Structure 1
Amino acid sequence: MGNPFKIMLWCYLMLLFAAVVAVFAPAYDSTFTMWTIAVFVIMLLMPIVLVFRFSRNRAKAYVLTLTYQWYGSFLLFTFPLLKVLKEEVLYQLLLVGLFIAIYFLARIDQRTEVPIVFPDKDRELDKVKTWIAYMYYVIPAIISFLGVSGDYVKTRILFEIYGDEVMMPYFSTLIYIFSCWLLFLFSSLAYKSHVKEGYLDR
């Protein structure tokens, strides 16, 4: 996997990028800025806690740290949509609840006979692809298409035509969906490695 410590440092850059997005997109909000700082600080302290927990094997601490850094980044990417719905507390709670549920759904899926993300190779059913799996893997392509592939010029034109009131929620929703997709992927990989393959027990 390479040097876990170096990988962890690179993941901090990802976390920093997510924090910047969370603070300034779609608009600055003091309350969400405090939440962003809180998440960022927790992720900064994570290595210290895990190094004490796995004092005999710091590589495990680094691997777990980068795993939680990615989770923290995905959480921060949900903040733009939560800001858009600032006055709708119920919707905000539902979105946060859905995000947390995705984490557990991925782990439940890994316990099924044919999980969506990287099923075990020693099973004959591995070749069986359900319609759910197909839909899961096509989501990034759909998001890219709906988000005009991140093209700045096209995005600006859309904002000029439809205005901020329409496009801010639209793009924030796409970011939220993609963060949930990534959370499902990484939660599945973490469960497969840490639990099913017993990485933390080695």
Structure 2
Amino acid sequence: MLRLKELLFPAIADVAVLSVRVSIETVRVDARCIAYGAVYPVCGVWSSRVHGSYLRFPADVPSGGRSVALQLRVRRFICGNSGCARCSFVEQIPGLTRRHGQQAERLRSTLAAVGLALAGRAGARIARVLGVPVSRSTVLRLVDALPDPEVPAPACKLEKARKAIDEARSDLENALYREQAGTTVYYPHPEDRVGTA
């Protein structure tokens, strides 16, 4: 039998699906994290002391024409480092939530891809058709939050340019030396050199 967790969150570890409620317009997925503890991102100390818990309701990618909302119980942990500025922190589930996020990571990446392809207004219109009503500002904000792509310089062209510069510098130095000796007239291009006796 296929378990709900494997169906809904195949790539996310430490999540348990408690129930799924389906209505005409929405799907509500009740879930919680089952990890023993969490690492505080600032100081890196592992903590398993639970201070409390509360519910978060991040939106997720629509399914079957219905909007999907997660009812996610997250825990607040007490940091074990006595020198830490903050005493408590809330667990984040990698691949699912982020701090102060109102959308699941899958929905964020989907909206960012739509925004990259279509930009603000058109992206917001397509998102509405897909079942995620968002403003054009939200689409643009998600695109703006993406990291800049790395554009590597072509190594072969860069190496050829370096060699050409080195050869030109060497030719110029040799020409200046010969000119001082009175043996050669130097022209900038190697094929234009004229030697004198």
TM over 0.5: no
Of structures 1 and 2, the one with the larger relative CO (CA 8 A, separation 6+) is 1
- Structure with greater helix percent: 1
Largest Rg, 1 or 2: 2
Structure with greater strand share of residues = 2
Query: TM-score range, shorter-chain basis?
Result: under 0.3
TM-score by length of 2: 0.25
